Structure 1
Amino acid sequence: MRRRILGLRAATLTALLALGTGLVVPAQQAVGAAAAATDDYCQGQCSDILPPGENGNATLADILANKALGTHPAHSDDQLGPYDSLSDDYGSLTDSSIDQFFNDSSFGVPAADVASVESPRSDVTITRDKATGVPHVLGTTRSGTEFGAGYAAAEDRLWLMDVFRHVGRGELTSFAGGAAANQGLEQQFYQAAPYTEADLQAQVDRIANDNGARGKQALADAQSYVDGINAYIDKSKAGRYFPGEYDLTGHMNAITNAGTIDHFTVTDLIALAAVIGALFGSGGGGEVQNALSLEAAQAKYGMTEGTKVWESFREANDPEAVLTVHDGQSFPYAESPANPQGVAMPDPGSVVQEPLVYDRTGSAAAEQKSTTHTPPKAPVKAPAKLKKAQGIFDNGVLPADLLTNPRKGMSNALVVSGAHTASGHPVAVFGPQTGYFAPQLLMLEELQGPGIDARGAAFAGLSLYVELGRGEDYAWSATSGEQDVTDTYAVQLCDPNGGTPTTADNYYLYHGTCTPFQELQQADSWSPTLADSTAAGGYTMRMYRTDYGLVTARATVGGKPVAYTSLRSSYMHEADSIIGFQMLNDPGYVHDPASFQGAVQHINYTFNWFYADSEHTAYYNSGNNPVRAANVDPSLPVMAEPQYEWQGFDPSTNTADYTPPAQHPQSVDQDYYISWNNKQAKDYASANFGDGSVHRANLLDARVKKLVQAGGVTRASLTQAMEDAAVTDLRGEDVLPDLLAVLHSSPITDPQLANDVQELQNWLNDGAKRRETSPGSHTYADSDAIRIMDAWWPLLVKAEFEPGLGSDLYTALTNNLTVDESPSAGHGPTGSHAGSSFQYGWWSYVDKDLRAVLGKPVQGGLAQTFCGGGDLASCQSTLLTTLGQAAATPATTVYPGDSTGCSAGDQWCADSIEQRPLGGISQNRISWQNRPTFQQVVEFPSHR
């Protein structure tokens, strides 16, 4: 029996819609005013969570109260506690207790749970529930549904949406102030997508012109969505309840209400999509650094052996890598040919990165020498009534750790087919990781209207469709795929006057013609505001564009000057994916695995997509994978010559031939699927270093495989598997056994070292967890073993590999893949307090090397044996020496404290997750867990 949650009786609902007053109706006056009139086949077995809370807007009074009293606006933090507490309580989880840690994501709102109903236009109502304040949008017309989606998005995320449309245009500092992190963020994204207004409009036009009826509908949907945003802007400005950040940044006057909040346009949505595409939907592009490390390997070992050593660290197709598609299917893509042609290796020492910023003035000139993004000093004087708001944006609107690696890779998926579950129906626990922010980049919503039927999460400002969530009888989610869709070309520079070219020339040979670079500029300047204490300043960002992509560096190749360019298949096409998301929201389109895979084939972002309904599971890897010329090595830069171009390449539209859907990794009804940004399938070459024998996806694979072998999987048991992996140290579970085997290879005579080894053994016996002794204790069990491992890992890796590799090659390889990404490793690519851990590191290298030293079988081993020069006794000595150094390192050194409020030596705080403020409201930190931000737990008992 399916559950059906209905709203008002039809006549009453029609009357309410007809009012069209925009008035918020209190719950007691809107008895039965639920926001859905659709079948819900999940029957209460679908749940989701998105911390810290749905409400991401705060008035100036809310912000001041938060700073002075620590109070929070309603629904701004009510999902943080349940999310946090799962790490303590998952061991006793049952199906009946899941909704203590997740929201019930059933369609609609039962009458008793309605908090408010509003009708911003006559053809739509927005109902919010008491528990979470999630908007449930019900439209009698499609335009009304989209208008309501835009209105609700602005209610919950207007300031954040405004921030990101300015990031996407390279205008963040002029909008939100010149703090160092703001400068860094706009520079980061301008390098990825330096679009002109004409570029943005061209993407809008392409949606309508190249996609038939669906494209025209998408453009109409986008316009109605923007209309809804603008209606809220006008109403909130008139009512003086717009986000307080506009007052603090000088866009509005807190006393007179004078000022401007600019209306949104459809091109703003493209600018937002460009940011999201750069963050989460790309892959590859590291070919120049690959070339540098390959050259260092060849310099160390000679051409033949050096190449073998480099390829063994590359691990592009490692036979021991955990796979999402593990049923034996092969999907060859981006593999390196035996005899690559057209490789453009730089002459040693010739590579120079292309400068982005010039013409610095004022505080920007002072900032030029800073690489640490420390907060600026000398705050401006604020009126007495606003002094408590000082410093809200002193570190910028967005956190500086996004500057090093904007992609957040904690997204994961666990999906089990019905053949192995207790109910006989598939079970899924899955979700994306978009980082921890306040407010979140994502927002929750339910959309019901003609041709739209979905609940879930979407990026703020792009929520005209649910992007990750559920329909009435199916659910879907994604993880970052990051397969290689970005190539580096070496364009030969030329002098248009026929002289001898140099690396300073801004002309290049395109099919034999000396062609000028297209210069793209964005001038940005700022003045001091209440929320940003930097002095006035400014600069100009400049990028050069060629027919082979954006210029990133200059060098010489064989003595000839070249510019290295980055060519991404989704560049100029970030908006194309709208068609796939439209299909996912359409109950008339998606109804089984084949239609699901057909929908996500229209998404050109590099994502792994997962699906579950009551009978089937499915997987598909999306993205525009270019068909490369024969014998081109995707791992290395290639000469920009016609014979090495992508097949079918048209630079005027940045289009090419792409591999057909059948060649993308995919599967239906595999026994189970896991994904944690790991290798997708056999022969699908990894774009990144490190997809080897030890990957954090092993934490999921081991647990889910065990559940499947036992059978009877439930929502609770699969959630437990996810959370148990989320609090486990990958080094402890999958590498420490190798380390202990070497350490125990002969007696340890030093009593202190023997005690240290026993501490590590005890931690392993306890499951290698990073978990509190009791809820709220802020103290880890096995805390000393964890401290030792945190101090030991970088020491042991360096001592194990640098003597054999030499310092130049070791440094080059660490530039390809960082050594460590433990939760407290602020030096790692994700940064401190970010949650996501153990995606990047030398775990696989250590594992393969130590097994080789121990004489154990290794598939796809390293080309050399490094620890102790391959001698077991020497290797043991190396490990013991570094272990002693680590054990003697005090906690105050391992965890030095930081500007977020963590004291030196506070291990739990060093690991803890901080909700980075993207506006004026701050949130409490929570315990570390390696887990998606938005997450669903679903099991459908029935189907249409």
Structure 2
Amino acid sequence: MPPRTRTLRAATAAAALALGTSLLAAAPQATATPAEPAATAAATDHCQGRCADILPPGQNGNATLVEILGNKAFGTHPAHSDDQIDRYNGLVAGHTGLTDQKLTDFFNDASFGVPADQVESVTKPREDVTITRDKKTGVPHIQGTTRYGTEYGAGYAAGQDRLWLMDLFRHIGRGQLTSFAGGALANQGLEQQFWPQAPYTEADLEAQIERIRTTEGARGEQAMADAQAYVDGINAYRDKAKKGRYFPGEYVLTGKIDAITNVGEIQPFKLTDLISIASVVGGQFGGGGGGEVQAALSLLAAQQKYGLEEGTRVWESFRQRNDPEAVLTVHDGTSFPYATKPDRARGTALPDAGSVTAEPLIHDRTGSAGTNRKDPVDAPADLKPAQGMYDDGVIPEGSLPGSGDGAAKRGMSNALLVAGKHTASGNPVAVFGPQTGYFAPQLMMLQELQGPGISARGVSFAGVGMYVQMGRGQDYAWSATSAAQDITDTYAVELCEPDGSAPSKNSAHYLYRGTCTAMEKMERTNSWKPTVADSTAEGSYRMQVWRTRYGVLTHRATVGGKPVAYTSLRTTYRHEADSIIGFQMLNDPAYVTDAASFQQAASHIDYAFNWFYADSRTTAYYNSGMNPVRAPGVDAALPVKAEKAYEWQGFDPAANTTDYTPFAQHPHSSGQDYYISWNNRQAKDYSTAAFGFGAVHRGDLLDDRVAALVADGGVTRASLTRAMEEAALTDLRGEQLLPELLKVIRSQPVTDPALNTVVQQLDSWRAAGAQRKETAPGSHTYTHADAVRIMDAWWPELVEAEFRPGLGDDLYAALTASLATDESPAASHGPSGAHSGSAFQYGWWGFADKDLRQVLGQTVKGPLARTYCGNGDLSACRDALLTTLKQAAAAPATEVYPGDDSCEAGDQWCGDAIVHRALGGIGHKTIHWQNRPTYQQVVEFPSHR
């Protein structure tokens, strides 16, 4: 059974009878439907029909028990639960002949309001708000006459569309998912991934609410009033759905409500639930930094192999903090120095060799086995590829409920914007959106909000939808990509014992500004019993983390022989909800009137995001985030001593506040010829928070295409969308690396006829665009299928053959622990996991590019400290490539694509394909791979207020 349905196994008519589902009828969600539907009163809409958007699989994310069982038994779907999949999937084949007129074949009309002939239903949960849903998508268009009513309506509509999902996520944020939804490994993995990032008490959550209410002035008060109205709306729908017996069927399947008697309860929502959900969303998509312990281990491995000076030089060349060849979003040469390498580092706390151990998270396990987020990292030699990636905010394994094979990571989104002087209309054009993975239901939901001080349409994460988070206003649109600049640091706190005795690595006290201070132990004990939804055997376990004033403990080690604890401290810790002010501003038509006011609004968002803006006159960009002001000389890439001299400047641990870099020091720009972003580096001298931002990045797939469009001029919405989709179907290795690989191989004639045929196959694929695309829609067979298979088999082998002999086993293992070598669609071992759509964000593409060019004697800016392929000898490098290529060509498809619970072994197309991971009872069909935002807008404003 596919993992996406594993947590909801009641798929037979027998189960339906046993549960008495004949007594549980689906009820309409609208409380009133007018006999003659009227159009909603649209706000001023300057897009004039030129705004479009898409969000698969569909708007409706709730299903009654009858609907769930019908889906399992007969493949039926509730209305509007899957009606955006085909349009989204259709762009794979449809983009080649795309015109502006055909855009709505693949996107929704994102105009404000609903025409009278398109009204499907009208709901009035209160007299001061109306929820109108359109026939084509079922998107709620919420119009309030009061501010409270508008937000109440937003909450009510969220309940209609995402009640079960919101309930899941408030439990995930509290580390209580298994007790709520069952002990499946996927559920255990989720709470183990998210709760340790924000192990809050209820008092902690309430403190965040109070801080916003009392320290953010009138906007803070309004934000909390809006949030309360939103919660009130959720609860109003919750009550009606329970009484009317049309609540989500998952509550029956997990034993929360009896199907026959209706006995049971859906717990009321409260404001602290919103903070809990925000901690999950922000931690997943808006973090940045961390990973300093793993970075230190790879540095030590380099120093051990080459000596202190040369080893550091080698490591820095792989770290690529400020690679001059990296693709940039702000490409006009403007410099924004941040987290750069200090000339002379102070306070760095490298561990003693072999002393590092990860702090265990799981304790007292009984019953079903589970996952453990932290693997031992005693020595570099013990490290395995992809291990330790969670420290960079990336989830290497585990899943959202029911997937079992990997979760969405926070990178993935992209943006393409072109200034009006290069477009056919003279107005800017933008194609942009966030990539939040593929789930059923989707993590986000579409909505339109119109009320006093609010006018916007777009997406919001379910459960925190008081405002549109990415979308469009009356005469402007905005979107974001994950930025991942370094807002998280690792501190080495010296351990101690309160009685003055010698501490050990297991000590539970630490020195805080000279005082031996007790760590705070945070615990979650979860237990579960088998249910219809989850047949996992009865069990329980305890999660435990230690909190200090320098953050959450992640590892223990010794530094200079003294026992220390490594802690992770991010600026957004205890501030997950503060960004609500920025989102409120973005929804306020009186506030955002131009690019400058947009940038000011974005600066109030504390998460690490790249924000993009387009109106009829200009485009703009701003990088948000609570960037801490570090003490002089501190190296942000490595652990630092937990001493006052090396703390963030102005650091107050009580509220986790500090001094932050000012607006002007954040990368920002207006009116640049074009902008692209695909989680690449932001600007010159703006240091990245992780490995992998070098000469080749998936951002190049966008940059090359958009630059070419701009050079030709006359850019349209359709041509920019085509550029996005071409990049979405392209294998980064085939486009950017294969030319260099073939140049090395063809430096001498290939005399083996069979191997020469393989080389020609790869070259033909490269010449055709190196795409992973079907021969025809629905064929499920790739054009150039053999070349794609060979590249998939060859890449990990060629990287190892190119680098491992020169680096040695220990250093190669340590570096691959900091950065996985491959993240092709079929590389299910990569950071994204299988079937996630997102690909080519993390990998050794830049390392291989520089190394091969060095072997070929080409000019390389910011070269690797050494040349590795063939130890720098072209002939030896060629031999290594040919040897691995021959092995790859012989690898059968069943080996390259081993199969999983979704695909048969050897099924290349399915191995790549996107699987919507079920977060509830409804499943969806598998669709063609494309490396593309989940929610996406195509916009062009012809006029302005």
Using structure 2 for the length normalisation, give the TM-score.
Answer: 0.94
Does the Cα contact within 8 Å between 2:52 and 2:111 map onto a contact in 1?
yes
In structure 2, the residue matched to 1:667 is 669
Q: Deviations over 1:362-412 (max 9, x none)?
A: 33xx4479999xxxxxxxxxxxxxxxxxxxxx9972534446xx5242200
- Three-state SS of the structure 2 residue aligned to 1:479 is strand
Q: 1-side partners of 2:806 and 2:43: how far apart?
A: 65
**Matches of 1:241 and 1:526, distance apart in 2:** 26
Secondary structure at the aligned position of 1:926 is classed as coil
Kept after mapping to 2: 8 A contact 1:178/1:396: no
Q: Which residue of 1 aligns with 2:544?
A: 542
AA of the residue aligned to 1:32: A
Are residue 91 (structure 1) and residue 96 (structure 2) matched? Answer: yes
Aligned-partner Cα distance in 1 for 2:130–2:693: 48
SS for the counterpart of 1:717 is: helix
Matching residue of 1:330: 335
In structure 2, the partner of 1:890 is 892
CA distance in 2, matches of 1:351, 1:151: 50
Match of residue 521 from structure 2? 519
* Deviations 1:588-647, CA, capped at 9 Å, x for gaps: 000101100010110000000000000011000000000000000000000100100000
Write the deviation string for residues 209-243 of structure 1: whole angstroms up to 9, x where unpaired: 11000000000000000000000000001110000
Tell me how far 1:360 sits from its aligned partner.
Answer: 1.8
* Cross-structure match for 2:939: 938
**Whole-Å Cα distance in 1 between the matches of residues 877 and 301 of structure 2?**
25
SS at match of 1:760: helix
- 1:769 is matched with 771
Structure 2 residue identity aligned to 1:602: H
Work out whether residues 676 and 696 of structure 1, in 8 Å CA contact, stay in contact via their aligned partners in 2.
yes
| 1:480-528 per-position Cα deviation (integer Å, ceiling 9, x unaligned) | 0000000000000001111111111100011111000011111111111
1:732 aligns with 2:738: no
In structure 2, the residue matched to 1:427 is 429
Which residue pairs with 2:33 in the alignment? 26
Question: 1:639-673 CA deviation, whole Å, 9 max, x = no partner?
Answer: 10010000000000100000000000000000000
Q: Is the 8 A contact 2:361 2:372 kept in 1?
A: no
For 2:341 and 2:862, how far apart are their aligned partners in 1? 16
Structure 2: distance between partners of 1:249 and 1:630: 54
In 2, are the aligned partners of 1:22 and 1:121 still within 8 Å (CA)? no
Question: Does the aligned pair in 2 maintain the 1:468–1:476 contact within 8 Å?
Answer: yes
Cα distance between partner residues in 1 of 2:42 and 2:367 = 58
Q: Answer with 520-529 or 573-582: which moved more.
A: 520-529
Tell me what 1:711 maps to.
Answer: 713
Answer whether contact 1:324 1:674 (CA < 8 A) is retained: yes
Conserved in 1, the CA contact under 8 Å of 2:188 and 2:371?
A: no
* Partner amino acid, structure 1, of 2:358: Q
| 1:693 alignment counterpart | 695
> Where does 1:307-322 land on structure 2 (aligned, <5 Å)?
307-322=312-327
Structure 2 equivalent of residue 208 of structure 1: 213
What letter corresponds to residue 492 of structure 1 in structure 2? E
Question: SS at 2:151's partner residue?
Answer: helix
Match of 1:499 among 498, 501, 506: 501
Residue 356 (structure 1) shift: 1.1
* Aligned 8 A contact 2:409 2:831 in 1: no
- Which stretches of structure 1, 4 residues or more, deviate above 6 A after TM superposition? 368-372
Give the aligned partner of residue 881 of structure 1: 883
What secondary structure does 1:508 align onto? strand
Could you tell me which amino acid in structure 2 is paired with residue 208 of structure 1? R
Structure-to-structure mapping, 1:36-435, within 5 angstroms: 36-363=41-368, 366-367=369-370, 397-402=401-406, 407-435=409-437
Give the aligned partner of residue 914 of structure 2: 913
| Maintained 8 Å contact 2:731/2:771 | yes
| Cα deviation, residue 542, structure 1 | 1.1
The alpha carbon displacement at 1:903 in A equals: 1.1
Question: Residue 840 in 1 paired to residue 845 in 2?
Answer: no
Residues 115-154 of structure 1 show CA distances to partners (whole Å, capped at 9, x for unaligned) of 0101011110000000000000000100000000000000
1:741 paired to 2:771: no
Does structure 2 retain, via aligned residues, the 8 Å contact 1:408–1:830? Answer: no
SS at 1:174's partner residue? helix
Secondary structure of the residue aligned to 1:576 is coil
Quick one: structure 1 residues 802 and 484, their matched pair in 2 at CA, closer, same or farther if it must change by over 3 Å?
A: same
- Per the alignment, in what secondary structure is the counterpart of residue 63 of structure 2? coil
Mapped partners of 1:400, 1:659: distance in 2: 40
Instruction: Give the aligned partner of residue 380 of structure 1.
Output: none
Matched, 1:442 2:444: yes
Listed one character per residue, the Cα deviations across residues 327-363 of structure 1 (whole Å, up to 9, x for unaligned) are 0100000011121011111011110111112122233
Measured in 1, the distance between the counterparts of 2:63 and 2:358 equals: 41
The separation in 1 between residues aligned to 2:184 and 2:611, in whole angstroms, is 37
Partner of 1:601: 603
| Corresponding residue of 1:18 | none
Contact 2:616 2:943 in 1 (8 A): yes
Structure 1 22/242 Cα, relative in aligned 2: closer, same or farther at 3 Å?
A: closer
Tell me the CA shift for residue 187 of structure 1. Answer: 1.0
Q: Which runs of 5+ in 2 are unaligned?
A: 1-27, 376-397
Cα distance in 2 for residues equivalent to 1:596 and 1:175: 40
Q: Give the aligned partner of residue 810 of structure 1.
A: 812
Aligned-partner SS, 2:579: helix
2:463 is equivalent to residue 461 of structure 1: yes
Distance in structure 1 (CA, Å) of the matches to 2:352 and 2:400: 39
Residue 865 of structure 1 is matched in structure 2 by: 867
Between the aligned partners of 1:920 and 1:788, the Cα distance in structure 2 is 38
Match of 1:8 in 2: none
Aligned residue pairs: how many? 896
Shift of residue 186, structure 1, vs aligned partner: 0.5
Say which is worse superposed, 720-729 or 332-341, in terms of deviation.
332-341
Change (3 A) 1:785 1:201: same
Structure 1 distance, partners of 2:238, 2:528, is: 24
The answer on whether the counterparts of 1:126 and 1:152 sit within 8 Å (CA) in structure 2 is yes
Please give the alpha-carbon distance, in whole angstroms, between the structure 2 residues aligned to 1:593 and 1:888: 55
Q: Distance in 1 between matches of 2:748 and 2:632?
A: 52
User: Partners in 2 of 1:367 and 1:820 — Cα distance?
Assistant: 26
Q: CA RMSD in A?
A: 1.4
Q: Which residue of 2 aligns with 1:479?
A: 481
User: Retained in 2: the 8 A contact 1:30–1:116?
Assistant: no
CA separation in 2, counterparts of 1:499 and 1:250? 52
Distance change >3 Å, CA 710–CA 616, structure 1 → 2: same
Q: Give the alignment partner of residue 754 of structure 2, picking from 752, 755, 758.
A: 752
Letter in 1 for 2:69: L
Shift of 1:23: 5.8
TM-score (norm 1): 0.94
* Residues 263-282 of structure 1 deviation map (CA, whole Å, 9 limit, x = unaligned): 10000000000000110010
- Cα displacement (A) at 1:540: 1.5
Partner AA of 2:279 in structure 1: A
1:720 counterpart residue number: 722
The answer for unaligned runs of 5 or more in structure 1 is 1-20, 373-393
Structure 2 residue aligned with 1:578 = 580
Q: Match for 1:527: what amino acid?
A: K
Return the offset for 1:567. Answer: 0.5
